[in-house]
Structure 1
Amino acid sequence: MSKTTTNEPRSPLLYDDDLPGPMSLHRLAGLGAVRQLDDDSAYLTEDAETLFGRASILAALKPYNTVACAVSAAWVWLGGTFPNTIDVISASHFRAPVHGRRVRVFNRKAPDAHIAAIGRLKTTTPARTACDLALLPPDETPRREVNDMVCALMDSKQCTPQECLAILDENRYWPNAPRARAFFEYIAPCF
C-alpha cells in the first residue's frame, strides 16, 4: 500500500483538535515544545528558531494579500517573543482578532524595493522594518522596546541608519517622520 503525499506544506500551527486530549496543548507549552498563541492554538518552538520557520508561522496568521511590517516583521527578522499585534500594510480594515491578537494596519506605500519574500510571506525589508518601528506612535509600543528592536536590526548588520534615512527622505510626509529621522541621525555615529 503506497502512501499518498501532497506538495502542500504542513501548517506551522497546531490546534487543540490536532492533539489527543484537551490539556495536551497546555502541557506541551509547559514543556517548551510549543509556544501558545491563544488557548486553542500554538506553533512548534523549533519552527520559531529559524528565519524561514518564523516567516511560515506569520504567513499562516496574517490576513491574505497583506505585507507584514513593524513589530511583526521585526519578529521574523530577529526572533524572540511573538508580538502582541499582527502588523500589516494594507488598505483594508481588520476588526476581528487573529489567534487572540489585534491586527494593526498601516496604510503606507510599500514599493517593491521595501518588500522581501521569505517562503509564502511578504514582509518589509530590515531597513523598512526599522523605519516602521521608528514611526510607531509612542503610545502604541514602548519606546525602549522599539529602540531595542531597531538597534538589534542594526547590530545584526541587516540594515544601517543611512538606509533608513534614505527611506524617510522618500516619505517625509509619513506621520512621525521628523521624530524617526531625528532618531536615526542620533544613532548613525554608533553604526
Structure 2
Amino acid sequence: MLLALHKPFNVLSQFTPDVEGQRTLAEFGFPKNVYPLGRLDYDSEGLLLLSDEAGLNTRLLDPRRSHWRTYWAQVEGEITAEAARKLEQGVVIQGKKTLPARGRPIVPNPEPPPRDPPIRYRANIPTSWLELELREGRNRQVRRMTAAVGFPTLRLIRMKIGEYRLPPDLQPGQWTELTAGERRQIFG
C-alpha cells in the first residue's frame, strides 16, 4: 500500500522520538508495517509518502530517476525574479552546487492551512512565497538554497512529488491511501 500524509509542523518523519515528548508518525494511526519514503524535516510540513512495499524507497529517492519534488517556501522579504533565476541555475550550499531547479514567485500569495504555532510576524519585514521544484533531496536543501540568495525560509511545505499533488482537502495530520492512478502520478 502507498499512503499520503499531510505532515504537520513539528512532527518527526519517524515512529520513535529522538527526545521524550516529540511528536512522531506513531500518533496518526497508520496500518502496521508502513515506513516513510524519504523524510521531511521536523519543522517542515506537507506531503510525506509511507508504504509497506519493499523497494519503493529506493525507487523514489534514487537521484538517477529524477523524481521532481515541489515545495512552497514562505520567505522573509519580497522574493525577486533574479533570486528565483539563481535558484534555478543552482547555488552552492555546503560546498557543493545544487542541481538546476525550477523556481518562481507565487503571486498572489497562497493560503495554506494555518500552522500551529504560526510563523513570527514582524510588521516592518514583508514575506512572500516561492515555488521551488527540485530533483535532489539534500539535508535542509530548500532552506539553505533560499538563504544563499538572501531570502531565509520561514515556512516550508512540500506540495507535490512527481505529478501527485497534496490533496487540498487533506488537512495537517490526515492521510489517505493512493489509488493506482495516483501511484502512476508519482512513479510514472
TM-score (norm 1): 0.26
Q: Which has the higher contact order (CA 8 A, sep 6+)?
A: 2
The structure with more radius of gyration: 1
More strand by share: 2
TM-score (norm 2): 0.26
